Amino acid sequence: MFSLKNKISIITGGGSGIGKSIALLFSKQESTVHILDLEGNTQAVVDNINASGGKSFFHKCDIAKQEEVKAVIESILAPGKNIDILVNNAGIAHIGTVETTSDEDLVRLFNVNVKGMYNCMHEVIPSMKKTGGVVLNLASVASSVGIPDRFAYSMTKGAVIGMTLSVAKDYLGFNIRCNAISPARVHTPFVDGYLQKNFPGKEQEMFEKLSRTQPIGRMGKPDEVAHLALYLCSDEASFITGCDYLVDGGFVKLNN
């Protein structure tokens, strides 16, 4: 079950965190994985996959720039090739209210979290229309509930849900499915960097405090999101489209 053999996947932001876990798992399930990311540790992820017998490629790409996305997608679409899976994982965060969020910050988040997803779907879906495919967008619990000091981030993640529903509706007749995953706090290098920057000397204390905001009592693990991503992108989920799945330890429904 959940085989991705002979399927070509594109994963944005696959160099670390949730994206890295998705890339590793999809490769294990025999998908050819193309990672679109900035430098970071992405090449090391690709080397790890290839050394383990998988097939993966790194494409340096700023997804906020449509011309870069277009060039990368065209390079992947060699004669006789189609893109079967697009995972829009790349995203950035921001802390602030509507008053403390600058115009520059708002535009920066919009360009990556919203326009970046649009750019990738705009270039990939024409190929998918020929043979069908799956789009999976990473949203957030911030799409569903109010979270303090996350004005710009919540705005962009709410837009992800709107884009997901729109694409799912528009391409039903082309056998293209589109779903979203909304994680709560997941322990990634981003979380560690955030704690080191904002709470020097109190990292462990704040880590435990943030973990307790989820009823299950801990942060999620990237692999736990990746496992759901695999299901939603596999043929076993062929009857599922236009849905948003919470992976949140009870954060949305059980917090009183």
Q: How far apart are CA 65 and CA 61, in angstroms?
A: 8
Q: How far apart are CA 213 and CA 236, in angstroms?
A: 33
Residue 231 is among the residues annotated as catalytic for this protein: no
What is the number of residues in the chain?
256
Give Dmax (Cα) for the chain: 55
Q: How far apart are CA 148 and CA 131, in angstroms?
A: 43
Q: Give which of 144, 113, 141, 158 is closest to 12, Cα–Cα.
A: 113
Q: Give which of 180, 152, 156 is closest to 244, Cα–Cα.
A: 180
Q: How far apart are CA 8 and CA 225, in angstroms?
A: 20
Nearest 5°: the CA angle 125, 131, 132 is 60
Query: Which residues are marked as active site?
Result: 153
